Amino acid sequence: MEFETNGRKRFGSVRRAIGAVRTKALTATGHVPDAVAYARHEAGMVADRLPGTLGHVRDGAQGTVTNLQTVPDSGLRLLAAVSVGFGAGLRLAGKTRLAALAGFAPASLFGFAIFSRPRPVHAEPRPVRP
């Protein structure tokens, strides 16, 4: 008799636990449409702002490269070498790859400024008359 009473008590507490879980699950699923609507609204706002943001980033990068193109090649090469050394030092010191990449990143910008610099067009040399 004692076993049946304990079993029923345990079974009743399991039923209450299942009921509580079911209630919480139904409450949570009731909030899903609101969460999806909020996410859709925020995604729409981000999509509306994205073209302008990308335009500002592009303009800033172009302005930076244009300003760097006024620096002599020797100065840009020195800055690129310092950046590569800094990135290599971070990597050798055991820092994360992301930290080392942040150290190397300016070198790529300096290199791009060197190679994208407009070069003067040279006319063909005139033949020498004897």
Residues 74 and 106 occupy one common structural domain: yes
What's the rounded Cα separation, in Å, for the pair 123 and 84? 37
Confidence label for 7 from pLDDT (cuts 50, 70 and 90): low
Amino acid 127 reads P
Question: 22 is in which domain, residue-wise?
Answer: 1-48
Of 48, 64, 81, at which residue does a domain stop? 48
Q: Is residue 77 part of a domain?
A: yes
Residues 113 and 61 occupy one common structural domain: yes
| Among 70, 64, 110, 67, CA closest to 86 | 110
C-beta of residue 69 within 8 angstroms of C-beta of residue 109: no
Q: Is the pLDDT of residue 9 over 70?
A: no
pLDDT tens track for 47-94 = 887 788 888 888 888 888 888 888 888 888 999 999 999 999 999 999
Give the residue carrying structure tokens 């005139």.
126
Q: Is the pLDDT of residue 116 over 70?
A: yes
Mean pLDDT for the stretch of residues 17-27: 79
Please give the tally of structural domains in the chain.
Answer: 2
Residues 24 and 67 occupy one common structural domain: no
Residues 75 and 107 occupy one common structural domain: yes
Residues 33 and 76 occupy one common structural domain: no
What is the reported pLDDT for 98? Answer: 92
